[in-house]
Structure 1
Amino acid sequence: MIKSDRPIFVIGCPRSGTTMLQLMLHSHPRIGVPPETRFVVPGYYRRFVFGDLREEVNRRRLGQWIVTDKDTKFKELKLDGDRFIEDVVAGPPTLGSAIGIAFRSYAEQFGKARWGDKRPSYYHYVDILLRLFPDAQFIHLIRDGRDCVASLKEMPWYTKDVFHAVNNWAEAIDFGRRHAKNLPADSYYELRYEDLTRDPETELRGLCGFLGEEYDPAMSEPCHVARQAIPQNRVWHLNTHGDVTTARTGSWKARLEPWEVSLCETVLAERLTANGYELTGAPKADKAHVTAVSKVEAKRRAARRRKDLRDRINRFREPGPVAAQLTTRQLGELARV
């Protein structure tokens, strides 16, 4: 049987356990998933800056931006920048190919034939990721929204308030529903953090079946690769350096104020119960608090619509194709054109 080389993307609300899942996948002998980078979506929106990638000089400009821009976090991949740039120049003339070469090179450092990427906010950008990687597979990890909100509140990098945190989880669930409805069964997969931590082997066997891979016991002990795949300065991921545990499940009960529990259960009730999470019967939230969440949702929805409209218009004037031409499926699609 031909082994799959399809890209894998881990998505979900921030603080839903996606880093733990990243490490579980990275523990597989065939899959390499690096620390978070920031050049996939920004590179897509900057594609006009680089011009027609069928011209070598433009591919070099793209490779140099990925390597040298201070915001791309290319250094997290620990790759030779000069070699990467030359690989981009010699590679297929598309944006997806250049990005794919970066992740493929990361996986090859560990002798692995397949790559993945993890960034929670990717749930907003599945359409764009599919333009770049038409054969991609997506894994959506879902965690109790109350635990996600409680954890987000405590993160040093999360500068928003609890109303934004509640909206974050609602968005992730709503986008997930849309993806489940619109994507083929072999492209989208959901699992719950609580199930994954309670019975890692069973859940990972199911996930491997979706990916077309054999389960490996090392996946259930991801702490062994944490130092390798998690930057040391990210202290909020310290829990990933220990054994998989259910200790954090339901910790929102001690971390949320009563009014915050009411807010979560008022705004998120249907989404929580639909995903198997029981409500406490907390009193209805204050109307002002519910209104605050609604205002955040409306503002974010309007911003997304404006951005999506601009992108749809921009697609008519793209300087060249964007889809990657690296994997078996991608090359097969190219041959049929």
Structure 2
Amino acid sequence: MKTIKSIQIIGTQRSGSNLLRVILNQLSEVDAPHSPHILERFFPLLPKYGDLNIEANFENLIEDVCKLVELNPVPWEGFKPNRFQIKSYCKSNSLIEIFKVIYELKAQFSGASFWCCKSMSNIHYADKLEASGIKPLYIHLYRDGRDVALSFRKAIVGEKHMYHLAKQWKEEQDLCVQLKEKLGNDRVFLISYEELLDDSEGVLMRLCNFLKVPYNNSMLSYYNSNESNITADSGKMWENISQPLIKNNFNKFFKELSDDQIKIFEHVAGSTLLKLNYKRYLTEEDKFYSEDQIENFNLENKLLKQMAVSNLSEKDLNKRKGQANLVKEIIER
């Protein structure tokens, strides 16, 4: 297989990663399929497979990862992972290697010179990506955490209480900042969601320069692409992908979150907001909550997550149940 370079988008979900993915996918040099979250889902499951140096165990892992890809709510159009081919290309018996080879084969299938993974939670596995030799170019895509929290509260997936959302956002953004400090400007490119909306062409030109690929005007016509339409049709969370950029899609938290909700977020993640050049509005310093308060937050978070699942449309439920059932079946083995 020819050498294919890699791009990893990092940060926190609900920050425009699917938007950036379909924009990048407009470039002939980049293949950016919707992410089945291979690393996030399978690293916790690895104990189920035993010693991966035993070929049967490694083959079982390949089989299940391929099933996850095939059950993705947004299909990888025209591409079916070949288990035998994947194993033959793997240079080591590891989950990271399976992940890399699947993305490389998909990019090869699409005639691209880069594969792009938009699973932003892979920031938690950056050390493993580096140690494996993949060494991708990272795009740190970030958005005002209060708008991220608002978006999660409306979404099917994720945490729902402001305390949990602020904690997650702070942890992931801090990890991204640390990675940038460690690897430098040649490896990590920063994009704020708000700047992407305000100066789309300028941001994308700088991004193409970072990737060393030519800028293409078609990037801003992403909403006419087949990939955007397939994504938008695959779930309520992604319905905006088939529309042009919504230029005023920021600072929505002012109107839609209560003062108490904003205060909780700023108390937990205020220092990180400042680090990324966002303002505090209702607090001046971070605050620690008591165990009793956190326990109440936990109960409320659990209830809100249950409500989100109960409000799922039948279409969204059917799109997601394949992967959910696969993971459940693996856990119960």
Q: TM-score range by the shorter chain?
A: 0.7 to 0.9
CA distance in 2 between counterparts of 1:89 and 1:6 reads 20
Q: CA deviation at 1:227?
A: 3.3
**What displacement does 1:219 show?**
1.6
Letter in 2 for 1:260: Q
- Residue 261 of structure 1, CA deviation: 1.9
1:155 paired to 2:162: no
The residue type equivalent to 2:254 in the other structure is: K
Stretch of structure 1 that moved more, 44-53 or 177-186:
44-53
Q: Deviations over 1:278-336 (max 9, x none)?
A: 333x2569978x4479959xx9xxxxxxxxxxxxxxxxxxxxxxxxxxxxxxxxxxxxx
Q: Distance in 1 between matches of 2:237 and 2:73?
A: 21
Mark the CA change 1:43 to 1:159 in structure 2 (over 3 Å): closer, same or farther.
Answer: closer
Residue identity matched to 2:105: S
Residues 126-181 of structure 1 show CA distances to partners (whole Å, capped at 9, x for unaligned) of 11222334321111111111111111111122354121011121112211121112
- Structure 1 residues 223 and 283, CA gap change in structure 2 (3 angstroms): same
Task: Using the aligned pairs only, state the percent identity.
Answer: 20
| More moved, 10-19 vs 55-64 | 55-64
Relative distance call for 1:44 and 1:72 in structure 2 (3 A) is: farther
The question of whether the paired residues in 1 share the 8 Å contact of 2:162 and 2:265 is answered with: no
Aligned CA distance change for structure 1 residues 176 and 99 (closer, same or farther; 3 Å): closer
| Structure 2 contact 74–234 (Cα < 8 Å) conserved | no
SS in 2 for 1:77: coil
Structure 2: unaligned runs, 5 residues or longer:
299-333
CA contact (8 A) 1:38 1:72 kept: no
* 1:119 alignment counterpart: 119
Alignment of 1:223-262 (within 5 A): 223-225=223-225, 226-227=227-228, 230=231, 232-262=233-263
Native 8 Å contact 1:66 1:72 kept in 2: no
1:240-286 C-alpha deviation (Å, 9 max, x unpaired): 21111222111111111011122233333332233222333x25699
**2:82 alignment partner in structure 1:** 84
Paired with 2:173 and 2:113, the residues of 1 have a C-alpha distance of: 31
Shift of 1:192: 0.5
Give the Cα separation in 2 of the matches to 1:179 and 1:241. 32
TM-score, reference length from structure 1: 0.74
Aligned partners of 1:293 and 1:260: how far apart in 2? 18
Mean Cα displacement is larger for which, 227-236 or 144-153?
A: 227-236
CA contact (8 A) 2:31 2:115 kept: yes
Deviation at 1:51, TM superposition (A): 4.3
RMSD: 3.3
Partner of 1:279: 280
**How many residues are aligned here?**
291
Unaligned segments of structure 1, at least 5 residues: 300-337
Mapped partners of 1:99, 1:136: distance in 2: 13
1:12 to 2:11 alignment = yes
